[in-house]
Amino acid sequence: MRLETEVLGVRFQNPFFLAAGTCGFGLELAEVLDIEALGGFVTKSVTLEPRVGNAPPRVAEFKDGMLNSIGLANPGLERTKREKLPWIRDNIFRPRVLISIAGHTVVEFFTLVEGLDSEDGFLGFEINLSCPNDAERTGELFALNPSAVAEIISGCRIRTERPIVAKLAPNDPDLSRTVQVATEEGANALTLVNTLPRALLDISNGVPELGAGDGGISGPALRPSGLRAVREARAATHLPLFGVGGVMTATTAVEYARAGASLVQMGTASFAWPRAVTEAIAGLIQWGQEQRISAWDDLVSRPPGANAPANRLDLLDPIESSGEG
């Protein structure tokens, strides 16, 4: 099966990304994983000032996933430019890199775009509008406030010609509207979804397992939320979509393609097993061969009205289809 795909005007060697916050700035995973095999990765969210992050423990596992409250621990804008981007520029060749940015205020998003735009070695920005664990912010997520989404996306749009990808929240009561706002204001793609705010408790004393109290849930338990969000977004915009949430294997990636995602991001699976993503890439090639699907693109559900319908497995003629693998 051909995994190559063209999105955002560029070619991706396969649809698998590592999600923001699960691979640092690439360097952190280079020793345990063949990063050059990836379609791409998204960096840890960068804030204007360095952040030390939330009180430990910052992650807790449970049967169907993981809860995190890292609290945006990152080196900040200047050290990212000085210490992280040069490594990416000199060591990443085939994968496409998105820099995730997270503002504490609307204006901070603009300062981050302006501060990073002239650097080399990355494709575009993932605008993190949906971090559930920012102790420095009170009130609702940017992603849950359509006028904040409009202001941030339009302000970032006029400051860069690079692709901008808006990362939205799974608990948005009117996701279609948010998707439309991001589309109208000039986003080039959307990432669905960030983690879902939840809690785990120690039964001996009722104290939350995470130092910060609540955290964001990810892994298999998030998958149905991610799929629903991608389906809803697919119906509301023509923009390409990144599917995130419980992408653990080749077939969970296919499920996201069926929902309408052109690309997928893996997170929790690679936390537990760094090579999960390279195994999923190999698994997808094999699955395609077995199912006689010739291209990843044939699996991706298109927006309503688009003229390239997704392949229906039940309509494939097993003799006619080449199954080139």
Instruction: Show which residues are catalytic.
Output: 131
Minimum CB distance to ligand RRO, residue 316 (Å)? 38
- Tell me the sheet residues that pair with 6: 11
Residues 263, 5 contacting (CB under 8 angstroms): yes
Site string for ligand RRO, 116-135 (x = CB under 6 A): ------------x--xxx--
Q: What angle do CA 228, 197, 171 make, to 5 degrees?
A: 35
Q: Of residues 5, 68, 265, 294, which one binds ligand RRO by CB under 6 A?
A: 68
Q: Of residues 196-255, which lie at the interface with ligand RRO (CB under 6 A)?
A: 216
Minimum CB distance to ligand RRO, residue 102 (Å)? 6
Residues 313, 245 contacting (CB under 8 angstroms): no
Residue 71 interacts with ligand RRO (CB under 6 A)? yes
Nearer of residues 99 and 281 to ligand RRO, judged by Cβ: 99
Q: Of residues 80-119, which lie at the interface with ligand RRO (CB under 6 A)?
A: 102
Residues 80, 137 contacting (CB under 8 angstroms): no
Residue 268 interacts with ligand RRO (CB under 6 A)? no
Alpha-carbon distance of 123 to 246, in angstroms, equals 25
Whether a cis peptide bond, with omega within 30° of 0, leads into 300 is: no
Q: Of residues 33, 72, 116, 277, which one binds ligand RRO by CB under 6 A?
A: 72
Nearer of residues 95 and 219 to ligand RRO, judged by Cβ: 219
Pairing of strands 124-128, 96-101: parallel
Pairing of strands 5-7, 10-12: antiparallel
Minimum CB distance to ligand RRO, residue 251 (Å)? 24
Residues 308, 262 contacting (CB under 8 angstroms): no
Q: Rule CB under 6 A: which residues touch ligand RRO?
A: 21, 45, 68-72, 102, 128, 131-133, 194-195, 216
